[in-house]
Structure 1
Amino acid sequence: MSATIREEAGKALADVEAVTAVVLPEPAREVVPLEKAPTPLASEIRRRIEELDMADTGSIVNFGSAAQAELQQISQAMLSDVRNKDVGPAGDSLREIVTTIRGFSVSELDVRRKRSWWERLLGRTAPFANFLARFEDVQGQIDDITGNLLNHEHKLLKDIKSLDVLYEKTLNFYDELALYIAAGEAKLADIDQKDIPAKEAEVDKVAEDRKVMVAQELRDLRAARDDLERRVHDLKLTRQVTMQSLPSIRLVQENDKSLVTKINSTLVNTVPLWETQLAQAVTIQRSAEAATAVREASDLTNELLTANAKNLRQANEIVRTEMERGVFDIEAVKTANADLIATIEDSLRIADEGKRKRAAAEIDLKKMEAELRDTLAAAKARATGTGDTVATSV
């Protein structure tokens, strides 16, 4: 990590501590009605009651909408700022720097790592020059990533401060809604208790020619009263949603604060520690190269001796075993002899069976021949009439 980035990260530490120390106020829970409000608050409620004109539908529909104007400006400014800047996630940079360090295998320099004698015989060891080249490449990657992390930290600090303003304005809007709700409820109570009864009494007392007009005014007043009641209900719903948005803002802000703290700790503490460990790995390797070469040569000699002795023993066992075997295995001769005897016996059995079947067939053939001869003789006697004469004489 470059000295410039390290210096800027140290300076940002004060800003991180400042934003994490801010404690946001909690919102009020209940709407204070006009009759229970203290004098300053009661004055504010009455001022908002004066915004209502029951004869003007627009004043009822827009009742309380002015309170949201400043909050909308703040929100739109934040959204515009988000659209106008690159807000790549800082978490990706943190994961990238971890991946970079893990991809740098310090085990390549571990002189205690056991290599096979075949690798050492063929010279398949990691050259120290290649390691130094990779070290320089990783150092450059760390510098790039830490620069990105520092930019993310500045953006998140700005977002946290903007969220402070947004929370403050949202809380003001939440309190302002309470004033409008109290003003609306006070106005509804006043209409129910004074204006509508007075208008009803006027309908009863007015002359017949004006009764229809005054009755219509009463209906208009009741309709305006219902519109105001619906508007106050909408304001209550809006206040509830606004109260739900306050912890959401705080949650996002707390997450940003945690990420800023993590980034700053990585820049100030973790990255320098990684660089120190990598530098130590290089230094240790340089001091251990000579001893490693001598030890590996000795290990290779011992492994060759052990491997050759083992191979000789195995080869000798195979050769001697083959030498002691006969031309034919006795088990193979026994099996062949048994199969030959079984074959001869099968041939004799099949020949006897064939002779028996032929004798039986010869008897059947003679029988069938006699039956055929008798049948033909009987048929000839019928044809010459001899058979009928014989039957008559009998």
Structure 2
Amino acid sequence: MSRTMDTTIETPVAGEAVDRLAAAIDLRDPSTILRFGAEAQSRAASAADAMLGAARNQATGEAGEALSGLLSTLRGFDVTEMSEKPGLVGRLARLAGRGQTQATAIIQRYEGVRGQIETVGDRLDGHRTRLLEDVERLERLYGATLEWFHALAEHIAAGEVVLARTDAEAIPAAEREAADSANDLAPQKLRDLRAARDELDRRVHDLRLTRQVAMQSLPGLRLIQENDKALAAKIHSVLANTVPLWRTQLAQALAIQNMREAGDAVRAATDLTNRLLTANAETLRRGNAEARVELERGVFDLAAVQQANAALVATLEDSLRIAEEGRETRKQATRELAKAEAEIRRALTSAGTGPGRRSS
């Protein structure tokens, strides 16, 4: 832009245009001086209005706000937190209480945010279209302002040509005429010529000021145009790169989360398998020990044989003792019976020899 500006300012003024403009100036006709450059100067108001409209373009402000809102939404929905350890257990516990996995919760939250992103994206696309239209309009305005700048330069050059010619030729001739002629109107003509010359000089000065305004408006137009192009490019980059990249990141995060959940399930299954193997091995060990103990036992336990033998010996001893006691009891009974029998005999004997016994 700076090289274009420098080249534009230093471009030599076309001779034909300057000669044509200079020929239109008649110092004897004040109206030609008043009209000189008026059309070129009138473009200043149009350029100022155009720059003011571009500077306060609502689309630019709304586009910036919409872009900031979209970026804030994307930053607020940080899918990388799914991989963060701090607080993960608490979040999973809360989600588990509602019967949700973290991936499901993230997807549901994404569904709510996606509508906002699409709405803002549509608005941004519309703003981008208007910004590009503004860029084209500003380009046309820049070209018109550049033409205005050249037109002012041509008018200034033409005025300077007339001023130089007037100072070099017309005024000295008028001065000689006023000094040598007996015409009483010659001094007045000299005065009018000098007044017209000064009026033209003021007009050329005004045109120089107007050209300075045109020179200042050119970089201003470029600055606004560059800002619009930069914002339009940023919107395009966000819509074409940031949003798809965010969605890709979300898909990757969900895939990683699903793999993590699958890994947790596999880990739980592996832990269960290990516990079952350990429990089965322990059960087998206890069962084998019990079986081997029973297998290694004899048909009769020694303690049982000893107890049975002791009982048998006690039984035999009891039998012998009882038998012995029975013999003793029978012997005693025999003696008692013999004694009883003897008493019976004695009693009978005594009864046959007593007094009063009758003889048979």
TM-score by length of 1: 0.58
For structure 2, the residue ranges without an aligned partner over 5 or more in a row are 269-360
What is aligned with 1:178? 153
Count of paired positions: 263
For structure 1, the residue ranges without an aligned partner over 5 or more in a row are 1-22, 297-394
TM-superposed deviation, 1:290: 5.0
**Percent of aligned pairs sharing the same letter:** 45
What is aligned with 2:94? 124
The CA distance in 2 between the partners of 1:24 and 1:264, in whole Å, is 28
TM-superposed deviation, 1:70: 5.5
Alignment of 1:86-165 (within 5 A): 86-110=59-83, 113-115=85-87, 119=90, 123-125=93-95, 127-128=100-101, 129-165=104-140
CA contact (8 A) 1:196 1:222 kept: yes
The CA distance in 2 between the partners of 1:222 and 1:235, in whole Å, is 20
The CA distance in 2 between the partners of 1:77 and 1:238, in whole Å, is 16
TM-superposed deviation, 1:108: 4.9
Judge which range, 264-273 or 126-135, deviates more. Answer: 126-135
3-state DSSP class of the match of 1:54?
Answer: coil
TM-superposed deviation, 1:80: 6.6
Tell me which amino acid in the other structure corresponds to 2:64.
Answer: G
The CA distance in 2 between the partners of 1:253 and 1:81, in whole Å, is 9
Q: 1:114 to 1:125 in 2, by over 3 A?
A: farther
The structure that has the greater radius of gyration is 2
CA contact (8 A) 1:71 1:166 kept: no
The CA distance in 2 between the partners of 1:125 and 1:276, in whole Å, is 24
Matched, 1:273 2:245: yes
Q: 1:173 to 1:293 in 2, by over 3 A?
A: same
TM-superposed deviation, 1:157: 0.7
Deviations 1:251-292 (A, max 9, x none): 222222222222212212221111111122233323433544
TM-superposed deviation, 1:184: 0.5
What is aligned with 2:18? 45
The CA distance in 2 between the partners of 1:196 and 1:249, in whole Å, is 43
Q: 1:219 to 1:289 in 2, by over 3 A?
A: same
Tell me which amino acid in the other structure corresponds to 2:113.
Answer: V
TM-superposed deviation, 1:26: 5.1
Q: 1:116 to 1:197 in 2, by over 3 A?
A: closer
3-state DSSP class of the match of 2:94?
Answer: coil
Deviations 1:29-81 (A, max 9, x none): 3475xxxx7xxx22211110122222333322332121244565566567678
The CA distance in 2 between the partners of 1:31 and 1:147, in whole Å, is 45
TM-score by length of 2: 0.63
3-state DSSP class of the match of 2:9?
Answer: coil
Matched, 1:196 2:196: no
What is aligned with 2:260? 288
CA contact (8 A) 1:31 1:179 kept: no
Deviations 1:139-189 (A, max 9, x none): 111111111111111111111111111111111111111111111111011
